[in-house]
Structure 1
Amino acid sequence: MYLADQAWPDLGSYFAEESLAVVPIGSTEQHGPHLPESTDHVIAEHLAREAADRAGYLCTPTVNVGVSMHHRQFHGTMSVDPPAFRDYVESMTRSLTHHGIDRVVYVNAHGGNMQHLREVGRRLREDRVAFAVEWMWDESIPDLVNELFEHNGPHGGPKETAMLQYLDGDNVHDDRLEQARDGGRVNLEDGDPTIHGARNYYDAIDNSPNGVFGDQTDATAEKGEQLFEAATEQLVALLEWLDGKPFDDLMAAPHVDPQPGSRR
């Protein structure tokens, strides 16, 4: 069920019976010469809505702009400061708790959001408001990704290219796949990302002239469909697992004995 398409009286039965919501989160940022800047939020929204529909849960509107300052040198990249992003996502999640939601899955498709969504989840759990967990689609199916592509690439590579070919092929420049590969980095390690054990770069352009990594020519819509179906299955399984857990089991364990102040 997509929240934004419903009239408020029609949502009452869901909130009376269910306490879980799916929140898709992505970015609007460069993905090389071949992919649209919508790549991450398109993937997040399609996965979130499909899994929510299959499993019978509520999906919220998508957060389309994330933490993307490391792509700022490329035209059109949008970003928000990390504290503003964290506060916004937390505030939005707390608004759902007013309707009885106490567990949330952030369906995230942008690596730059990961640590910040984890921080939001920690805050909400500390306050015993909700259990919110960040889920990254490619991390749920690593074996399949490795099986399909020799050079995955952490950004704008064949896995994202294949997903967009399947989900939004009209906005993929298939005639630029070789350009993307040859103008970027097939292997991140070739850019010497660490020197004497220290990560020596901050922005994508520091290691890739066109901002992307991997061999994009390995991508096809058929492979994208395989990725989408496999990731959706994993997400459905996560939603069902989370829904089946008692709320107290999701909260922090109590302090070990003796309890602080117990002898006062």
Structure 2
Amino acid sequence: MQLAEHSWPEIEAYCREDSLAVVPLGSTEQHGPHLPEGTDHMIAEALARKATERTGYLCTPPITVGVSSHHRQFHGTMSVDPPAFRDYVESLSRSLTEHGIDRIVYVNAHGGNINHLREVGRRLREDDTAYAIEWMWNESIPDLVDDLFEHNGPHGGPKETAMIQHIAPDLVREERIDDAAQGGATRMDEQELRHHGARTFYDAIDNTENGVLGDQRDATAEKGEVMFDAAVEQLVALLDWLDDKPYEALAAKPHV
């Protein structure tokens, strides 16, 4: 059920029966020379929409800009400061609870958002406002991703390339895939990421000149469809699990 596409009486009817909402989030940032800047929020919205179409749960409009300062050297990247992002997501979440929502799933497709979404969830749980959790699509199917790609890469690599080939094929610059692979960092173990136990990089450009990590050349729309369907299955299962839980079982435990 897409919140933005329904009237308030229809949302009221939903909230009389259900108390779960899905919030898709991503980023607007560089994804190499071959993928659109909206890659992350497009993936998150597509997964959230498909899962809520299947289940009937409420889905909000997507949050399209996240915490992406580590991609700032590449043109077009948009980012918000972490405190502003956390406060915005928390405020949006609290607005949902005014209508009876007490459990929220953040359908996330951007690694830079993860820790901040988990912190928001902690805040909401600690003051007994709602139970909110972060769900990252590729973390729900890690073995499948590893099986499909030799060098899947954490950013702009074959898994994201294949997902966009599946959900928005016209936005993939297929003629630039070879350039993306040859100009990026194919293998993470080729990079000097740590020295004497310390992580010594801050920005994406420290590790890759063209913004991508991984080898995109074995990405296909067919592999994207396999991942998409598998991730949707995981998300549907999570939503049903969460909906079945009594709120008391999700709330923070009292002090011993």
Please, what TM-score do these two structures have when normalized by structure 1? 0.96
> Which letter maps to 2:164?
L
Partner of 1:85, secondary structure, is: helix
Give matches, 1:212-251, under 5 Å: 212-251=212-251
In structure 2, distance between residues paired with 1:172 and 1:221: 10
> Which letter maps to 1:32?
G
> Which letter maps to 2:89?
V
In structure 2, distance between residues paired with 1:165 and 1:11: 33
Superposed CA offset, 1:53-72 (max 9, x none): 11110000000000000000
Percent of aligned pairs with the same residue?
70
Aligned to 1:92: 92
Partner of 1:27, secondary structure, is: coil
Partner of 2:21, secondary structure, is: strand
Aligned to 1:115: 115
Superposed CA offset, 1:76-125 (max 9, x none): 00000000000000000000000000000000000000000000000000
Superposed CA offset, 1:16-75 (max 9, x none): 000000000000000000000010000000000110111110000000000000000000
Partner of 1:107, secondary structure, is: strand
Aligned to 2:58: 58
Give matches, 1:82-161, under 5 Å: 82-161=82-161
In structure 2, distance between residues paired with 1:106 and 1:119: 12
8 Å contact kept, 1:155–1:212: yes
Alignment of 1:189 with 2:189, yes or no, is: yes
Partner of 2:135, secondary structure, is: strand
> Which letter maps to 1:121?
G
Query: Could you say what the CA RMSD is over the residues aligned between the two structures, in angstroms?
Result: 0.6
8 Å contact kept, 1:22–1:48: yes
Where does the alignment leave 5 or more consecutive residues of structure 2 unmatched? none
> Which letter maps to 2:248?
D
In structure 1, distance between residues paired with 2:36 and 2:226: 21
> Which letter maps to 1:189?
D
8 Å contact kept, 1:191–1:208: no
Decide which moves more: 182-191 or 135-144.
Answer: 182-191
Deviation at residue 254 of structure 1 after TM alignment: 1.9
Give the total of aligned pairs: 256
> Which letter maps to 1:179?
D
Partner of 1:80, secondary structure, is: coil
Alignment of 1:35 with 2:35, yes or no, is: yes
Poorly superposed stretches of 4+, deviation over 4 Å: none
In structure 2, distance between residues paired with 1:44 and 1:143: 20
8 Å contact kept, 1:41–1:64: yes
In structure 2, distance between residues paired with 1:70 and 1:63: 19
In structure 2, distance between residues paired with 1:203 and 1:85: 19
In structure 2, distance between residues paired with 1:11 and 1:73: 42
Please, what TM-score do these two structures have when normalized by structure 2? 0.99
In structure 2, distance between residues paired with 1:207 and 1:181: 13
